[in-house]
Chains A and B, each alone.
Chain A
Amino acid sequence: MAKNLNVVNLLDFYGAMLTDKQQEVAHLYFDEDLSLSEIAGRLGITRQGVRDHIKKVEDAVFSLEKRLCVAANYAKMQLRCRQIKEVIDSLSQYNQKYLFSAELTKRLKLISELMEKMLEEQAGQSGEQR
C-alpha cells in the first residue's frame, strides 16, 4: 500500500470528522511518516489493525471530498486570489509609473489585505503550527 500524500491535504479539511483513534493513526502515518508496524508497536495494536484504520480514514476523506468538495473549492479560491493579486500588482506598477496616486496605493494595499484575511478565515485555523 503506497502512501498517498494527497490524503494529507484532505485530512486538514476533514480530519476533525474522524474518530480520535483514526486521527491519531493518520497523524503518525501521514505527518510523521511512520510505518504500519511502527505505529502498531507504539499504540499496542496489530499491524492489520493499523492498516484497517488507515484504509477507513482514506475512504472517509475521499468520500467526504466527493460529496462536499471543500478542498477543491478552497484550491479554486486560492487560484482566483492569486489571479486577483496579479492584477493588483500590475495596477500598482502602473500607478508607480504614470499616476503617482497615494490614495490608489493605499486602496490597492487594502484590497490585498482583505483578500489575505479572507484566505486565512477560509483556512480556519490556518495560522496554527503543526
Chain B
Amino acid sequence: MVKIRLKRMGKKRAPFYRVVVADVRAPRDGKFIEAIGFYDPTRNPAKIEINKERVEYWVNNGAQLTDTVKVLFKK
C-alpha cells in the first residue's frame, strides 16, 4: 500500500517537512516515490503547499493520507 505522509527534512531546530508519496514498507531508509508538496512550520503562519492534482491522482490509485497530512490538506 502507498501512503501520503510527511517526511522531515531541514536542520536541527529548523523543522521542514516534505509531503511525500511512499510505500508503507519502505520509508525507514527515507525512500519515497514522489514529493508532492511541503510544510514549513517555522514560518508564521506556517507555509503549506500541496499539489492537489497529484493528491487526487494518488488517492484514486488507492493511496491513503496520514491523519497529519489530512489536517494540513484541509487548511
Contact = CB atoms under 8 A, between A and B. Distances in A.
Given A33-B66, A34-B27, 13 more contacts: A2-B71, A3-B68, A8-B41, A12-B12, A33-B69, A34-B5, A35-B66, A42-B28, A123-B11, A123-B14, A124-B12, A125-B12, A127-B11
| Chain B interface residue number, banded | 20 to 34
A130 B12 CA distance: 7
A31 B8 contact: yes
B62 interface: no
Given A42-B28, A126-B13, A32 B68 contact: no
B68 A5 contact: yes
Contacts of A13: 13
Interface string A26-59: 0000111111001000100000000000000000
A73 interface: no
Nearest to A42: B28
B45 to A, nearest CB: 14
A103 interface: no
Interface in A5-25: 5, 8-9, 12-13
Given A30-B8, A32-B7, A8 B15 contact: yes
B13 A130 contact: no
A113 B41 CA distance: 26
Interface string A88-130: 0000000000000000000000000000000000011111111
A37 B12 CA distance: 27
B33 interface: no
